[in-house]
Structure 1
Amino acid sequence: MGWNGYQGTGNGELGTGNRELVTWHLALGTWNLELGTWHLERGTWNKKRNVLRTVQRRREKNGMRL
């Protein structure tokens, strides 16, 4: 009897666990959106870095010519 009562409590905890899991999935979904935005930002940042590298190369070439 005692074990069955414990099992009932376990099921209640499982129910709460499932609710937490749903919340966690929602949080994960939001995090995935943020990750997508971060990737877009990184892509833009990489383009900016490439432009800077090109400018640096040009300066180095000009410096060597002088």
Structure 2
Amino acid sequence: MCDFSDMTVDEAAKSAMQAELICSLMMGNTGEMTEGEIESLLALIKQLTGKAGSWLIAASGDDAICVND
């Protein structure tokens, strides 16, 4: 069972919003970025969306699809 009791709905929402903002900033600008910068931002997006998604899954009570990094 996943334990996301230490994360609030506001924190999950902030993680999702941060990921959305990063994606918006990256759109159309990846040509000006190095491969390393892109990979770093993609890793951050994965972490942020993973946190938000895992919290939503845990909050829904569906432990069958709970995944941890």
TM-score by length of 2: 0.38
Q: Per chain length, whose mean CA-contact separation is higher, i.e. which structure has more relative contact order (CA < 8 Å, sep 6+)?
A: 2
TM-score by length of 1: 0.40
